[in-house]
Amino acid sequence: MSISSPDTCISHNNNNLPNLSNKSNGMRGNKYNCNNSGTPRTRLERLLRERELRKFNKSLNDGETELLNNDSFSPDSFEAFSWFNDEASLETISANRNSTDGCERQDSRASRERLLVVANRLPVSAVRRGVDSWHLEISVGGLVSALLGVKEFETRWIGWAGVNVPDEIGQRALIKALAEKRCIPVFLDEEIVHQYYNGYCNNILWPLFHYLGLPQEDRLATTRSFQSQFDAYKKANQMFAEVVKEHYVEGDVVWCHDYHLMFLPKCLKERNRKMKVGWFLHTPFPSSEIHRTLPSRLELLRSVLAADLVGFHTYDYARHFVSACTRILGLEGTPEGVEDQGRLTRVAAFPIGIDSDRFIRALELPQVQDHMKELKERFAGRKVMLGVDRLDMIKGIPQKILAFEKFLEENPNWRDKVVLLQIAVPTRTDVPEYQKLTSQVHEIVGRINGRFGTLTAVPIHHLDRSLDFHALCALYAVTDVALVTSLRDGMNLVSYEFVACQASKKGVLILSEFAGAAQSLGAGAILVNPWNVTEVASSIGYALNMPADEREKRHHHNFVHVTTHTSQEWAATFVSELNDTIVEAQLRTRQIPPPLPIEVAVDRYAKSNNRLLILGFNATLTEPVDTLGRKGSQIKEMEPKLRPDLQEPLRKLCDDPKTTIVVLSGSDRSVLDDNFGDYSMWLAAENGMFLRATKGDWMTTMPENLNMEWVDSVKHVFEYFTERTPRSHFELRETSLIWNYKYADVEFGRLQARDLLQHLWTGPISNASLDVVQGSRSIEVRSVGVTKGAAIDRILGEIVHNKGMKEPIDYVLCIGHFLAKDEDIYTFFEPELPSEVPAPVRSHVTPPVRTSVSKLSTSRSLSREDRLKKHRPMPTIERSKSYHVNTDVFQSRVVDRMSLQEGSSVLDLQGDNYFSCSVARKRSNARYLLGSSDDVVKLLTELTNSWINGMNTDGSTMEGN
Ligand SMILES: O=P(O)(O)OC[C@H]1O[C@H](O[C@H]2O[C@H](CO)[C@@H](O)[C@H](O)[C@H]2O)[C@H](O)[C@@H](O)[C@@H]1O
Ligand SMILES: O=c1ccn([C@@H]2O[C@H](COP(=O)(O)OP(=O)(O)O)[C@@H](O)[C@H]2O)c(=O)[nH]1
């Protein structure tokens, strides 16, 4: 795809995604040139195209941003942030953009898409000045800084204004004041703030996510209050959801932020399933071993997974999250995200950035220059070291100061040549832990200044307050060494801001390896372990003595990163991926068969005369697959058991003379005997390789020449892996071998499975004629041709013969939780000529892959119709042969083809009387879906009722099956 930016025209395709097409070759400026031929098909193609489009928009924006920022850049106010400006200026920009485009733009989405940013804190905190008058101040913190730099969207911010407003007059006045800044308040009362924000968010989740553990002291009290804090957390999240709902307009992107709002995606999706919901975490997501300790671990993960896209600062945090979902919820983690019953929540890393231009431009402003001059004079003759942090235990302020003390202790010559300026912004001052930290820091600073200070100078200048933007920029610019020693930090934007302001000085950044920023600025910074005070002290020495050329190289590396990975890029990428996730989900959904129309299936059943029901066993007639987390990995029943609530309907259906039931399972014969021996039905064990009417003996339907010589070598491999994978086991069946790790540690099990597969593919059996079938937690090895689909015509032949059927089968219901390999059973009954019957109900985007059928069955090369007509009149030819161990109990036979009468078909389904149904497996070749075995119970019960009702009306009698 060749795309060149300014020469590009933009249109919409059906997916509502803009198309880029090159308008060169002398076809400029004609909107009809915008063709759709290059419609991207894959996710990556779509995202690449979006990226090109963003770059193109940015090149237009750059000029416009100048316009926007011209007069409105008032130093100390938030007017500096573009999206705070009023609607009118944005309209102007849009108009300018259209007129400069050269090709009529239908693309309003990229530049005007509405974005609802939902975060605990609004970018402004409100201070009450009177009954109905408010003063707004910019809130301090990385989240606010980053989001204020986002310019691409028409943004509304929903959040808490940091103040309790109990009265209606005050609320109304605040709503009005905030509306001018495109902010919408969520009113939280004092008690909720105490329990939700101070309690659950800042005393439980915050320390936990930063590896500081759950509160230890007063265990009982904590446990008791934990529940009420969690309740308040959920309630607060519901309140946010209500406000979102009120302001949501169809098509809006709703972007939820941070650990305060982990419950929000679920609340939003429950209110509106179609809402585009993204969630981004600004803190680290800890290892799943840490998250496991949280009492509400399941609920929080599940709620976050309701979002369409989940984002983190780094790949590590994303990996931890996926791992928590697999280990704690028992879900499937894929490179794309987390999958739950066919639904994918995309999980990815989106490292945040800053609005670097804003910092670079600010350095030119006179007031910033004045500040810089003052600072240079004040600290002349001394190197300036700088720390800027909220006064939070995660920032490692005590550790930083202790390291500085050690440096002064060991380097007396530096004592009057260096100063540490530490800006410690008060935060969460209602939480006792933060109050303790403040006193602790004051105490250490006092001690060190007492120890190394003189009458005229102290080594540490500690400020317990925030600075305005320009003072901060000046400080960054005059600094020689910045010290960021967070014990853990989601990203840390201070390090980015410092780099942005160092174009001329090229100072050194000492950066904690536990800050997310270490992933991006690690190459240019000096990385330290903040817990290692000795290492930090020596790094200070190294930084202060660093030669200019090394400083320059390091700075350049980081400067390029900071100026290219901006907050605008971050937001645009996130929103673009969120939009794409929705497109992708729609494509996936269209590949999913529709739910079984139970009424239709029952009605047709009642109206037919010779029905065949083929039922799988595992997860079809047993309890639903347990996905409730770790408990699911505990061994409950080694052997599958028929659900008690299915016994009665099954028995009644078996007693219906017009119905034949076959249970077709991968399980071995003894398991089917134990569960179904008392019913009047057919049992097909080991994927149909063994067959028995419950009144008779087992026989084999196996192809005669089935090669089983591979068994010993595979068994050897399986034994090896079973020994090395705790809680895995393998089953040796007559026709297959299965290694099962469903009770093992999921991640370790998967790694072992990967190794095992690699060994099977490349090892001693690599040339054998085998199928290696991967289940979600198992690996099965079978001879080629051992599938349910391959076995079914032999089974059918035997049944028709055995029952002496005179009429064709006019209704087939085939239900199972079958492996992909065995889905050939669904296709077996599908008409092969499209003209014969209407196509399955679902609409395909990509046609489902049709599993090829057995090569062993010669009749397979014929069409279904030919195959079934070709069958000879009755006498079944049975060729006995002994097979395997224990064959004394089983009579083994191979059944030849048959038909009802010369030329007539065994099946007469008239297209519509065929219901293939996948249970709890969404991507399937079946025509329909059933959610779980609960639905199977419902269906079979209704079939039973229909038959009983039918029998009463037409007066037919019950005969044996
Ligand atoms: O609103 P507060 O409770 O006073 O806290 C301020 C913010 O602190 C946290 O910031 C994080 O976000 C930054 C940007 O992504 C990141 O660089 C930093 O490492 C994080 O600590 C918190 O996550 C925000 O929600 C708070 O608003
Ligand atoms: O006096 C100050 C100190 C800090 N900040 C801002 O607070 C943010 C801190 O973000 P960071 O990601 O470093 O950490 P957080 O506080 O969000 O954990 C940065 O954007 C700083 O510019 C500020 O505006 N004034």
User: Of 349, 381, 405, which closes a domain?
Assistant: 349
- 576-627 pLDDT, tens digit each: 999 999 988 888 777 788 999 999 999 999 999 999 999 999 999 998 755 4
* 541 vs 533: CA distance, rounded Å: 13
d(C-alpha 510, C-alpha 396), whole Å: 13
**Sign of the torsion angle spanned by Cα atoms 320, 321, 323, 329:** positive
For 581: left if phi > 0, alpha if psi spans -120 to 50, otherwise beta; the answer is alpha
Same domain for 613 and 726, yes or no, is no
On whether ipTM exceeds 0.90, the answer is yes
Q: Report the relative pairing of strands 343-349 and 309-312 from DSSP bridges.
A: parallel
pLDDT tier for residue 52 given thresholds of 50, 70 and 90 = confident
> What is the 157 CA–ligand 1 centroid distance (Å)?
16
Q: Is residue 484 part of a domain?
A: yes
- Tokens linked to 819: 């492996």
DSSP annotation string for 136-189: EEEPPSHHHHHHHT--SSEEEEEEE-SS---SHHHHHHHHHHHHTTTEEE----
Instruction: Mark whether 555 and 469 lie in a shared domain.
Output: yes
> Looking at the structure, do residues 178 and 252 belong to the same domain, yes or no?
yes
Question: For residue 562, which of 508, 507, 503 has the smallest C-alpha distance?
Answer: 503
Decide if 235 is inside a domain.
yes
Domain of residue 232, CATH code? 3.40.50.2000
Exposed (0-12), middle (13-18) or buried (19+): which is 503, by Cβ within 10 Å?
middle
Which of these three, 316, 349, 382, is where a domain ends? 349
Q: What is the mean pLDDT of the chain?
A: 81
Cα distance from N-terminal residue to C-terminal residue, the chain? 64
Q: What is the pLDDT of residues 153-177, one digit of tens each?
A: 899 999 999 999 999 999 999 999 9
Q: Which residues of 806-837 are buried (b: 16+ CB within 10 A; e: fewer)?
A: eebbbbbbbbbbbbebbbbbbbbbbbeeeeee
One DSSP character per residue, 319-375 reads: HHHHHHHHHHH-PEEETTEEEETTEEEEEEE------HHHHHHHTTSHHHHHHHHHH
Are 7 and 24 a contacting pair, CB within 8 Å? Answer: yes
Range of the domain at 240: 114-215+223-349
> Distance, CA 363 to ligand 2 centroid (Å)?
18
Closest listed ligand to the CA of 518:
1
pLDDT (tens digit, 9 = 90+) per residue, 712-746? 889 989 999 999 999 999 999 888 899 999 888 88
**Ligand 2 within 6 A of CB of 491:** yes
Q: Give the Å distance between the CA of 141 and the centre of ligand 2.
A: 4
Specify the ligand 2 atom closest to the Cα of 491: 12
- Number of Cβ within a 10 Å radius of residue 205: 22
Q: Is 654 in the pocket of ligand 2 (CB under 6 A)?
A: no
Check whether residue 802 and residue 927 sit in a common domain.
Answer: yes
Residues with Cβ within 8 Å of 911's Cβ and at least 6 positions away in sequence, in order, are 831, 836, 837, 838
- CB-ligand 2 contact for 681 (6 Å cutoff): no
In a domain, 837, yes or no: no
Q: Are residues 774 and 799 in the same domain?
A: no
Residue 683: CATH number of its domain? 3.40.50.1000
Give the distance (Å) from ligand 2 centre to CA of residue 463. 14
| Segment 320-349 mean pLDDT | 90
Is 506 domain-assigned?
Answer: yes
CA of 338 to the centre of ligand 1 (A): 26
pLDDT of 213 higher than 80: yes
Could you tell me which residue, 473 or 29, shows the higher pLDDT? 473
CA distance 335 to 322: 9
In a domain, 854, yes or no: no
- Does 458 contact ligand 2 (Cβ within 6 A)? no
Ligand 1 atom nearest 313 alpha carbon: 15
State the pLDDT at residue 276: 97
pLDDT value at residue 383? 98
Give the global pTM. 0.75
Q: Give the helix/strand (H/E) hosting 630.
A: none
Q: How many angstroms separate the alpha carbon of residue 107 from the centre of ligand 1?
A: 34
Nearest to 870 by CA among 900, 825, 834, 831: 900
Distance CA 280, CA 312 (A): 6
Q: Relative to the alpha carbon of 426, which ligand is closest?
A: 1
Sheet holding 690-693, edge to edge: 699-700, 690-693, 682-685, 659-664, 611-615, 811-816, 914-919, 928-930
Whether the Cβ atoms of residue 95 and residue 163 lie closer than 8 Å to each other: no
Give the C-alpha separation, 574 to 565, whole Å: 13
CA pair distance 634, 744, nearest whole angstrom: 9
Q: In terms of domains, do 771 and 817 share one?
A: no
Residue recorded with tokens 């002290």: 537
Q: What is the domain count for the chain?
A: 4
CATH of the domain at 724: 3.30.70.1020
Distance (Å) from CA 427 to ligand 1 centroid: 10
| Closest C-alpha among 125, 852, 942, 265 to residue 601 | 942
In a domain, 56, yes or no: no
Residue 489 Cα: closest atom of ligand 2: 18
Kindly report the backbone phi and psi dihedral angles of residue 923, in degrees, each rounded to the nearest multiple of 5, phi listed first.
Answer: -90, 110
**Is there a single domain that holds both residue 263 and residue 231?**
yes
The least confident of 106-115, 390-399, 490-499, 831-840 is 831-840
Question: What gap in Å lies between CA 800 and CA 530, rounded to an integer?
Answer: 77
339 and 241 housed in the same domain: yes
What pLDDT band is residue 42 in, cutting at 50, 70 and 90? confident
Same domain, 663 and 545: no
**895 strand-pairing partners:** 878
In a domain? residue 18: no
Nearest by Cα to 47 from 309, 380, 379: 309
335 shares a domain with 370: no
pLDDT of residue 40: 64
Please check whether residues 819 and 721 belong to one and the same domain: no
What number is the average pLDDT over the span 232-251?
A: 97
121 in contact with ligand 1, CB cutoff 6 A: yes
Of the listed ranges 254-263, 788-797, 810-819, 867-876, the one predicted with least confidence: 867-876
The answer to whether residue 179 sits within a structural domain is yes
Q: In this model, does residue 838 exceed pLDDT 60?
A: no
638 CB neighbour count, 10 Å cutoff? 7
pLDDT of residue 705: 73
Domain boundary among 295, 330, 349: 349
3-state DSSP call for residue 740?
A: strand
Once rounded to an integer, what is the mean pLDDT over residues 232-240?
98
pLDDT, residue 761, reads: 80
Query: How confident is the model over 254-260, as a mean pLDDT?
Result: 98
Of the listed ranges 107-121, 241-255, 294-308, 370-384, the one predicted with least confidence: 107-121
Same domain, 272 and 419: no
Residues 33 and 408: their CA atoms lie apart, in Å, by 70
**Residue nearest ligand 1's atom 7 by CA:** 141
Beta carbons of 66 and 33 less than 8 angstroms apart = no
